[in-house]
Structure formats: C-alpha cells, structure tokens
Amino acid sequence: MSDRVEKYTEHSWRKALLNSQTTLQTAITNLENSGLQIILVVDTNGSLVGTITDGDIRRGLLRGLDLNSPIDSIIHQDPLVVPAQMSRETVLQLMQANEIHALPIVDETRQVIGLHSLNELLTPYQRPNLMIIMAGGKGTRLHPYTTNCPKPLLPVGGKPILEHIIERAKEEGFQHFILAVHYLGHMIEDYFGDGHAWQIQIDYLREKHPLGTAGAISLLHFSPKTPLVVSNGDVLTDIRYGEMVDFHNQHGAAATMAVRLHEWQNPFGVVNIQGVDIVSFEEKPVVRSHVNAGIYVLSPTALNALEKDQYCDMPTLFSRLKERGERTIVYPMHEPWLDVGRVEELNKAQQEWNNHLTSKF
C-alpha cells in the first residue's frame, strides 16, 4: 500500500497529537516520525490547545531551552483552523495565502478531527477502492426528460449528473469505476467508454433485468480486496468519499450508509392526547429524522449476503447483514446534497447546483 493511501486509511494525522507536558525531544521525534510538519497540542479532552512546527522548536532552542524542556512555552496558541465542511478548494486557497503547510480541522467544540496537508492537496494520489455507481434505473418520475435519455446522463452545469459524480470521486484518488447499467445503458457506455478520456478505468455491470440498488453488485466477476463505495447515479453532493471510507474502516463496519438530517415542519398545531384527555399542545412542531443519502461503503465480506443475479435493494442488504451479526453504521453528512429523482429536483439542480458549482460554498 502506498504512503498516500496509508495516510487516508490509517488516520496518520493522529500521530501528530501531543499533550502540553511533552518535552522538546519528544516533539522533535514526533515531527520526524509523522512527516506532517506540525504537532497538534491537545488537552485531555482532545481539544486543540495550539500547534508547534519545526520553526517553533528552533526558536525555542535559540532562546536557551534544552531537549528536556517542556513544550508549553513554544506552543502557538492561536493557530489558524478550519471546520470539516470547508471545501477542498477554499482550504487550499487559505493555506497558500497564509503560506502554511498544515491546517488543523476542528469541530464546534474545538476538538481535532483531522488535518489538511498542503502536499495532500497538491499531490495526486490514488485510492485502491472500487466505486460502483448504480446507473440502470428508468427514471420514470423524470418523464418526459428520460424518455430518450437515461437519468444519469441528464445535464446539470453543462455535463451529465454521472460525470459530476465520477469527477468528484476522481479528485479524491478513486481510479476504478464500475457502472451498473440497464435502461438505455448503451448511451451511458457510448458517452463514458472505458474512461480513457478521464484518465480512469471504467467497466460495466449489465443488468438483464432490474436488480435494485444493491443486486447489481452480485454480478461482479471478482472479489474486491478493499471496501467499495456504492453511489446512486442521481446524487449530486460534495461528500468526501474517501473520508467516508476512512470512517467505515475506523469503526470496523461491514456496511456504512451516508445519512442526511431532514427537517419537516408540521403546518398545523399538534394536540397530544391520551384517550380523550389533552396532554399538551405543540405549535407547528419540527420533525427531524435521518434519511438515506444513497451513498454507501461495503466491506468485501458484505457481498456474501447477496444472491447472484437476484433483486436486492440496499435497505434489504443492510438488514441481512444486521441479522448475521455484522456491524452496520451511518455516516452523518453535512455537505451539499441533492437527489435528482423528480422534475422539481432536476430544475433545482439546473438552477441552484449550477450556482454551487460556480461558488463551491
């Protein structure tokens, strides 16, 4: 496994974490071993106290500190940090403008949850994970647009929905894609071919009959060695596919489902009752629930729950795995996301998503 892949799969940024009672000698050893050019100093709760770079250590030694001195006097206590939802492009611009090589990622409580590396953002890298995209549906809810065009080829921002998905994943190092096709599948194959134009490899699973959002995977003629990403072919999103794979690996899951928080406000006042007695009133309450975002990560062993060439949707696959005692988890996502399943969503995509592609908010 390459160093680039290892950086993502093993969460090597955690090697940069140290507490403020550490000595300069330990800090120097940490910088040499991690190769990340930064130390993230955290408290006992994992919250960021500050950062230390090689320059900070050198300046400390010039001031008279020795290798046994604690690092607390050289900690940069107000470092630049970013939230997880900041786009890759914005992070890169921020790092280049401030001439920094590493940028901590923190949550709302200032806990460290990751680290951006300038080398990682600038250097091409490859992931070994396969990505399967379900592109065989008829898109009946999008008629008449899908009468002579498969849904994944409908244009948004000047290119097909499916092309957006592929290019987004390619940015994160995914190189091998398999498209599951059925309805007007020849049009998809004619457009993408073997992927040469995108400098990637594209193969196809050809469904003789609809197999659902999971069943087509049973047509694979080989057994993947690493977890695979599966996406519906009509989902536009800025989700970090690679980070979702890392999350899946970190939790030792057989299957991971991306979910998004959906809020719906009841337009009426709700009366809570017990029998005929009124218990309480709620004025237009907001109902919150997590919905399936149509993006998944499956470990190779999860494919054993599929039957060859038999219909199976993803919720059914997850249920089978759970019944077998396998761990199935969710990956809460916050990134922009749009399921282009109906005419209203297509219109929204062609208007709002065009703006998003331009602004990358």
CATH assignment of the domain containing 62: 3.10.580.10
| CA nearest neighbour of 214 among 145, 300, 312 | 312
Residues 193 and 179 in one domain: yes
Residues 99 and 132 in one domain: no
Residues 114 and 167 in one domain: no
Instruction: Give the model's pLDDT for residue 353.
Output: 61
Among residues 122, 145, 168, the one where a domain terminates is: 122
Instruction: Give the model's pLDDT for residue 357.
Output: 52
pLDDT for 339 beyond 90? no
Report the CATH number that the domain containing residue 275 is assigned in CATH.
3.90.550.10
pLDDT for 102 beyond 80? yes
Residues 7 and 59 in one domain: yes
pLDDT, tens digit, 9 for 90 and up, residues 241-276 = 988 998 899 899 999 999 987 777 888 898 998 998
Among residues 90, 122, 154, the one where a domain terminates is: 122
Residues 144 and 225 in one domain: yes
Per-residue confidence at 240, pLDDT binned at 50, 70, 90?
A: confident
- For residue 139, the enclosing domain spans 127-359
Lowest mean pLDDT among 96-105, 112-121, 132-141, 169-178: 112-121
Residues 72 and 131 in one domain: no
Residues 156 and 234 in one domain: yes
Residues 105 and 214 in one domain: no
Among residues 97, 122, 147, the one where a domain terminates is: 122
Instruction: Give the model's pLDDT for residue 356.
Output: 56
Active site residue 7: no
Mean pLDDT, range 105-127, rounded to an integer: 83
Mean pLDDT, range 195-222, rounded to an integer: 95
pLDDT for 321 beyond 50? yes
Instruction: Give the model's pLDDT for residue 2.
Output: 35
Residues 118 and 184 in one domain: no
Q: Structural domain tally of the chain? A: 2
Report yes or no: 300 and 252 within 8 Å, Cβ to Cβ: no
Residues 98 and 158 in one domain: no
Residues 222 and 202 in one domain: yes
Mean pLDDT, range 111-136, rounded to an integer: 86
Q: Which residues, 6+ apart, have CB-to-CB distance to 54 below 8 Å?
A: 31, 37
Among 159, 225, 284, 360, the active-site one is: 284
Lowest mean pLDDT among 27-36, 162-171, 306-315, 318-327: 27-36
Residues 115 and 132 in one domain: no
Instruction: Give the model's pLDDT for residue 207.
Output: 94
